Amino acid sequence: MEFEITHTTRYAYGHAAAEAYGEARLTPPNLPSQQILQHSITLDPETRASRYIDHYGNAVDFFSIPYRHQRLTITNRLLVRTAPPEKPKQALEQTVQEARQIFGSVLTQVFDYLQPTETVDQVGESISWAKKYLRASTPLGVGLTVLNEAIYAQFQYQKGATDHSTALATVWKQRAGVCQDFAHVALSVLRSAGLPSRYVCGYIETDAPKSPLSPRLIGAVATHAWVEVLVPGMAWVALDPTNRQWVNERYVAVSYGRDARDASPLRGTFKGSGGQKLKVSVIMKRRAKRVVRHAH
């Protein structure tokens, strides 16, 4: 499939900001499941950006606007060709215990993705869910599917139930949140089970053709979050607990990290006194197939 994606973020300041600084993690990687055909990031007011690669492999564009401005708009435009990600069958047939033993020999490579963070801390529920759904003898593929379905079934997708500062313990208690919270819950369980896992921020299809094969995805009007789990063979497999499925060709991964803070598409600061209003929109539409007609 080919998708045209437009991701627009608008900051409007109560009083003109004297200056602003920011980091944009908006450049998707080329992967076997996604090929970036076109990409541009536009800043308004216009300013130059400098790029570096962060600790998690994300391309980061740092920018500064060192003069007064009333608003800031960042537009990310993409043309992406996607394919269904391959699932490593043999790796998913290994048990949780076998996977843990394998990762024990490469601990320095996976250490970051096994540790709790300030946002994804280890709570009693995550430990008990790990024991329930990811027992030592459980095949990885089975355990991951059951965990994914359990989060979907026992947590309610509810906009406004949480914000970026809501503690994971609160999410567990109220059993409600958005895709970021579902991903954090999954990570807390996976890491409690000794399985390296990471947070993914990206895009999902917003306007699918009306078909039972392409139901509307939950959380499709903004950036979306899901998780990836490292399996034997050092391959990442991706699951979306918000939509109760393994990630497919309707997803485009953009940035990675231990949690939402690491993978945030935009973060920064501004100097001003009037506060700011934020508005975000994402449109990810299938590109119509071009019909090539040959003259006879």
Task: Tell me the C-alpha distance between 251 and 49, whole Å.
Answer: 27
Tokens for 170? Answer: 């609160």
Residue 107 has a pLDDT of 86
What pTM was estimated for this model as a whole? 0.93
Strands (E) located in 45-192 = 49-53, 59-65, 69-82, 156-157, 176-177
Summarised one tens digit per residue, pLDDT across range 164-201 is: 889 999 999 999 999 999 999 999 999 999 999 999 99
- Mean pLDDT across the stretch 103-126? 92
Residue 296 has a pLDDT of 52
- CA separation (Å) from 121 to 4, 43, 175, 209? 36, 35, 16, 39
DSSP calls for 243-264 = TTEE--TTEEEEEEESSHHHH-
Residue 250 has a pLDDT of 96
Residue 293 has a pLDDT of 57
Strand-by-strand arrangement of the 49-53 sheet: 49-53, 59-65, 19-27, 266-271
Q: Report residue 8: phi and psi, to 5°.
A: -115, 130
Summarised one tens digit per residue, pLDDT across range 31-55 is: 999 999 999 999 999 999 999 999 9
Q: pLDDT confidence of 109, banded at 50, 70, 90? A: confident
Residue 290 has a pLDDT of 61
Domains within the chain, CATH numbers bracketed: 2-82+265-286 (2.60.40.2250), 89-263 (3.10.620.30)
- Mean pLDDT across the stretch 22-26? 97
Residue 273 has a pLDDT of 75
Mean pLDDT score of the chain, rounded to an integer?
A: 93
Contact 173, 154 (CB under 8 A): no
Strands (E) located in 170-295 = 176-177, 197-204, 224-231, 235-240, 245-246, 251-257, 266-271, 276-286
Residue with tokens 């990762």: 103
Residue 146 has a pLDDT of 98
Residue 108 has a pLDDT of 85
Quick one: which of 79, 13, 17, 21 has its CA closest to 266? Answer: 21
With a cut of 80, say whether residue 137 has pLDDT above it.
Answer: yes
With a cut of 80, say whether residue 105 has pLDDT above it.
Answer: yes
Q: pLDDT confidence of 119, banded at 50, 70, 90? A: very high
Q: How many CA atoms lie within 13 A of 154 on its CB side?
A: 13
Residue 53 has a pLDDT of 97
Quick one: which of 212, 136, 145, 223 has its CA closest to 179? Answer: 223
Min mean pLDDT across 48-57, 93-102, 118-127, 205-214 is at 205-214
Tokens for 5? Answer: 């994606």
With a cut of 80, say whether residue 274 has pLDDT above it.
Answer: no
Quick one: which of 170, 184, 226 has its CA closest to 202? Answer: 226
DSSP state of 22: E
Residue 128 has a pLDDT of 97
